[in-house]
Every structure is written in structure tokens, then in C-alpha cells.
Amino acid sequence: MTVQEIMAGGRLYTVSGTGYNPLIGKIDNQEDSAVLSSAPALLECLRAGLLCNDSRLIKQEGAWQVQGDPTEGALLTSAHKGGLNLETLAASPRLDTVPFESEHQYMATLHAGSSGGDCQVYLKGAVEPLLTRCGRQIDAQSNLVPLVVAEIQQAVEAMAAKGLRVLAFARKEMPPETGALHHADVAADLIFLGLQGMIDPPRPAAVDAVKTCHVAGIQVKMITGDHPLTAVAIARQVGLYNLGTASAVSVLTGAELAKLSDSELIDRAADTVVFARATPEQKLRLVEALQARGQVVAMTGDGVNDAPALKRADIGVAMGITGTEVAKEAADMVLTDDNFSSIEAAVEEGRGVFDNLTKFIVWTLPTNLGEGLVILIAIFLGVTLPILPVQILWINMTTAGFLGLALAFEPKEPGIMLRPPRAPGSPILSQSTVFRICLVSLLMCGAAFWLFDWELSGGATIAEARTAAVNAFVVIELFYLFNCRSLEKSVFRLGFFSNLWVIGGSVVMFILQLAYTYLPLMNRLFQSAPVDLAVWGRTFTAGAIVFLIIEIEKMFWRKKGKGVDLKACQ
């Protein structure tokens, strides 16, 4: 946050330099090259920003940093560039403070006068509430003259149109015996000192994140206490627009919002991008209005007064650096870097997790259904069980850990943020995925019966035939695991080696299956038996056939343009 322009005494000053280093940059006026000491109105405006301030500038590890609010840090920096320093603070000790509240939109401090003279009250805050309390202003030589509201409003609009956040400054003299300060003391008869316009340039990462959110179908709205023109200018810089129309930025002020009924606000909230001069209570109303339209709302905030809106939102997001403890406690998520791009990254990560959860469900259900079908069909037909219950236990115990768990490490698919948000009430499994689950279940069941009967007809023992059936289930699951790495795209597009966890899990699972088949201890525990290479050949053939069938099925849905519901992942 850096002060770039100052209007004091009817003159406009520019401030060079960026950041909080008070030694870089200076205050200049193109019309008057006189030294700052001959500009008392400017110095008085800077003094107000220095004294009515709760933050401090420190030099840490060679860099200037602010302890406290970034806005106040910018005011301290501009004051130092004007020649004011800690001696100014020592000469005007603070006696009392009226802290900033969103309801009043200003902060006031009471300072002792020099040599027992009148006390001085300095205020800073939003332009509108301070102007209503002012009756006079100071000119370039610090003489008191009547307040010219139109001139000040013109300067405010000029600064705001550049994206500057504008703060107004005022003062008032109080009797020397004054020891406490109240809102009533500053309700009128203030002297207007000037304006300071500052800007916090949007981070390039935030601009890219807003663009990504729009592509992903996520609406981004700005709620701020700044001037409407400032808010609109910043909204344009970060690329905010009405989602779906790319129309001009629409703005609604807090005064206008207060006149709307709840039903009217529901309609306006959807079409409005920027809410300026908004109060914390109005933030809560906006959250409720958007939720009334069935939208999932994530709300950011950092102040105590933001807590109700953070609590009411579906996802409350508090600032980790500048946020208060109350805001952090009310929120569901805390941004440790106070960066909007972290929210976009969290959405992307959430979509990836949802993808992988769905993939695991679509992968694991056919095994359970296929096993159940084998048992049910064998019982209804009165034939020998191709798979024993203890062997089913072996399959579920090993494959879930060594095969299914690997899907949790599946990288996010390309284009994951090109999908529209999924409806909150939509099922996890679509008709397409349910069809695939049933198809694979039937293929597993059929492969188990086929291999079991094939081995028995070839003279194998029941233990050997059952071993072949169990191996068929495991091998088909292994092949199907590669199908499930994407429920829409072909695995050949993803690449077989883009998830080494799947490769590692498959190798470990195959080694365990070899142990299940050939180790005598495993033969006794699970009633398995060694089989020859021809059996393995038929088993892997069954797995490859299932793999190709599913790839063809995915290609069919892609050509039909329906796909699976992963397009609707949040």
C-alpha cells in the first residue's frame, strides 16, 4: 500500500517511491517547487496521518516493514517523506482514541497541546462522513476558509478514477483540560485538512486467479468500504466482470443496498460485481441473498465485524496475516499468505480430491458387486462356489490398500479448472458411472465363472480352479485401475507412467498374488494352489479384454458428448 497523491490546501501533490521505505521517493508539486517546509497545509495533512495512527514502521533484515495495518503504514511512509518523524509523535503525546468502527467509518485521536495550549484532535476516515462534520478547511498557507465541498468531491473522484483508495483528514481544537474523547466531540465543527490517495497494486497472481475462476464458472464479487470509483477501477484491473456476459462492471453502494428489500437484493446481488461503501451487516445480507439463489458462497474477511458473514457463508475464509483472531475463529479456512490466488488453488485442489474420490468409488464398487454376484449365482444355480469367503477377504484386504489407495495420488487432470461447478445436490455417481460399475461387475463375474469352469474341464483341482478365479478378479482390478485413472479421458492420453504410485501398487499387488498362489503357507490359509503359466496367460487375457471394453465404452460416451459427471466436479 503506497500513497501516490495528496491534496492539501487546494494543491495536488504527487508522491514517488513504492513500498514502506521512507528513504525512497519524495513529495512534489509541479506548480510549486518550494520546499515542503513552506507548505503548511501539506504538513498538517501529513501530521494527521502520522498522529492518527496505530501502526509503526520498522526496518527488519534490511527491509522496511509495517507493524499493523498496511493503510496506516502507507500514511507513516508519506509522513516520513514529508520530513515528519518520531519527534513529531513525542511532541504531541496521545491522550485518548476513538478507534475505527465500520459504523462510523473514521478514527480519531486526542493529543496534548504544546506548552499547555489547546488539545488537538486528528481524524482520518472515509470522505463522506468526515465532510459532513467539517465546516471549514485550510488553504495553502493553512488559513481557515469556508469549506468548498464541490472542489473536494472533484478531487476525490479524480483520485478514485485512478484506482486510488482515498482517505480524508480533519482536525479540531479542544480545551487544554480535555482528557477523554467521544464521538459527540467530533460530530461537528471540524477543519478539513486534505486527502491522501493510496493504492495497493493487484498481484499478478491474483489477476490470473480471477481469470481462472471465471473460466471455471466461479463468480468473483468485490465487497469493499472504498469509494465506488476506486472499487470499479480496481475491479477492472483484476479483471472482474459480470460472469457469462463480460459486461461492464456493475456497482452497488451501501446506501443503495440499504434501500433494497431482501427479495430485491436477491436479484441485484446476482447481477452486481462490486459493492462499495458496504458495511459488515450488509456483507451478511449479501451472503444470505446469494445463498437464497442456491449458490455456494465463499466469503473472505479479516475484521471482527466480518465474523457474522464468515460464519454464515458456506466457506468462511479469514486472512492469516492481517486477520483478527475473531475472524479466524469464525472462518472455515485461514489464508496464511492473504493471497486470493490461494483460494483459486484450494478450489483446484478440491476438484482434484473430488475427482480421485469418485474414481476410487467407481473402481472399488465393481469388485464388491462382482464378488457378490459370484456367490449369489452359484447358490441359485446350486453349483460349486468359484470363490470362497476367505478368498474374498484376501481380495478386499489387499487390493483396497495397494491398488485403490494409489488413486488418491492421481495428479489433477489437465483442464480441471475448465469445468463448470457441480450442483450441490447432484449425486456423486452419474448414470454413466453406474452403467460402468454394473458392466465391470458383470465382466468380473463372467470371467471368474469362465476361468473356474475352464480349469475344471481341463482336469484341474477345485483349489487350482478357485485360484484362477481369484487371480482373475485381482488382475481385472489391476487393469481396471488404469481405466479409472480418468473416468472420461483415455488412459493413453494420460500416459501409463504419470502416476508412479499406480505402477508401484500394481507391482506389489502382483508379487502378493504370486505369494498367494505359490507359497505353501498361503495355500493352507486361503485354500489356494499353484497354477501353470497357461492359467496366467488366460487370466491376463481376461484383464486386457476388460480394459479394452472400458476404453471403448469411454470413447463411446465421449463421441455421444455426454461424458461422465466429472465435468460437474466442484
Whether residues 305 and 414 share a domain: the answer is: no
In 222-366, beta strands by DSSP E: 222-223, 251-253, 274-276, 298-301, 315-319, 333-335
Does 12 share its domain with 58? yes
Do 267 and 178 lie in a common domain? no
User: pTM of the predicted model, to two decimals?
Assistant: 0.74
Whole-number CA gyration radius for the chain: 35
Q: Assign residue 228 the CATH number of its domain.
A: 3.40.50.1000
Hey, what's the cell of 397?
A: 484386504
Three cell numbers, residue 452: 473356474
Query: What pLDDT sits at residue 437?
Result: 94
Same domain, yes or no, for 319 and 364?
A: no
In this predicted structure, what is the pLDDT of residue 430?
Answer: 84
* pLDDT score recorded for residue 431: 84
Examine the domain organization and report whether 256 and 116 are in the same domain.
Answer: no
Cell of 224: 469493499
Q: How far is CA 157 from CA 2, 231, 273, 529, in A?
A: 18, 12, 20, 86
DSSP label at residue 247: B
Angle at 253 (CA atoms; ends 247, 257), nearest 5 degrees: 105
Are 146 and 234 members of one domain?
Answer: no
Number of domains present in the structure of the chain: 3
Tens digits of residue pLDDT in 472-481: 999 999 999 9
Per the DSSP assignment, residues forming a β-bridge with 63 are 60
Determine the pLDDT at residue 233. 86
Ranges assigned E (strand) in 493-536: none
Residue 348 and residue 322 share a domain: no
Q: What is the pLDDT of residue 38?
A: 65
Same domain for 174 and 229, yes or no, is no
Residues in the chain predicted with pLDDT less than 70, given as ranges, are: 30-38, 242-248, 561-570
- Asked if residue 355 and residue 316 are part of one domain, the reply reads no
Inter-residue contact 29 to 55 (CB < 8 Å) = no
Are 254 and 221 found together in one domain?
Answer: yes
Distance CA 263, CA 286 (A): 11
Cell of 473: 478378479
Q: Which of 292, 198, 241 is nearest to 7 (CA)?
A: 198
Residues 167 and 39 in one domain: yes
pLDDT tens digits, one per residue of 370-388: 989 999 999 999 999 999 9
Give the end of a domain, one of 156, 176, 199. Answer: 199
Report yes or no: 216 and 421 within 8 Å, Cβ to Cβ. yes
Q: Which domain, by its residues, includes 134?
A: 2-199
Assign residue 104 the CATH number of its domain: 3.40.1110.10
Note whether 481 and 452 are within 8 A (CB). no
Q: Which of 336, 353, 372 is the last residue of a domain?
A: 336
pLDDT at 483: 92
Same domain as 498, residue 438: yes
Of the three residues 177, 199, 221, the one that is the final residue of a domain is 199
What's the CATH code of the domain at 375?
1.20.1110.10
Burial of 337 (0-12, 13-18, 19+ CB in 10 A): exposed
pLDDT at 308: 93
